[in-house]
Amino acid sequence: MIGESELVAVGLNHHTAPVEVRERLAIGPEALSEHLHALTERAHARESVILSTCNRVEVYALVGSEDAGRGILTYLSGTAHHGGRPLRSLLYRHMGSDAVTHLFRVASSLDSQVVGEPQILGQLKQAFRAAQEEQTVGTVLQRLMRRAISVGKRVRTETGVGRKPVSVGTAAVEVARQVFGKLQGRVVLVLGAGDMARLVLRSLLDHGVDELLVVNRTPAAAETHVPLAISNLD
């Protein structure tokens, strides 16, 4: 507890919710400002950072000790439902030192679907930067986020976690290689054109795939993102 305030982490991730629920709750960059300010204006949070990725949607916040994050639980649970059940049943809430521990595990990729994946640290930096731009972080979250990013970097450089960078996308390609053998000269169908699909595309091209077919709900996203994935190859 910090004075009359409490540090909380509220959200869901791949441990607690299926992908279709995570997709419905996901907060894109275009909506981030609205949600950050809504948390403040509705008196749910005195400071807030929103981390939204394909595997998690989390709010890190400083709240009134009498509220203890219940307002954030209500706010997030009001945005989606799962199988007729309130989303609240899929949300977790960590308080005080438990919230700090959870954030440090997230920053270190120890809470990732694939332990050691490198994307989460950059995503956390982006979330923190967005909150700074919207002025929804104060002294407490400024110090906490900087410390979490520092811890994440140390874990990657001083332990074996970051020795062989992996992601869900590259792990999937590795499974395909083990099943089918060499991927050179093969035709591969990729479903989706989001961040994870771009990682898969890069990995497939690295393995010499001859032809890639991409299927996506919105053709515009595929037309925009697929060439970008290819042009960003090292």
- Enzyme catalytic residues: 54
95, two tokens? 């308080």
Strands 187-191 and 211-215: parallel
DSSP run (H or E) holding 231 = helix 219-231
* The pairing of beta strand 5-13 with beta strand 56-64: antiparallel
E strands, the chain, in order: 5-13, 47-52, 56-64, 81-82, 85-86, 92-95, 187-191, 211-215
Collapse the DSSP code of 63 into the 3-class scheme (helix H, G, I; strand E, B; otherwise coil) and give the result: strand
Question: 142-166 in b/e burial notation, b at 16+ Cβ within 10 A?
Answer: eebbeebbebbeebbeeeebbeeeb
- Signed CA dihedral, 7, 22, 199, 171: sign only: positive
Helices 219-231 and 195-206: crossing angle, nearest 10°?
A: 40
Residue 141 tokens, joined: 């979250």
Nearest alpha carbon to residue 125 among 155, 153, 105: 153
Q: Exposed (0-12), middle (13-18) or buried (19+): which is 167, by Cβ within 10 Å?
A: buried
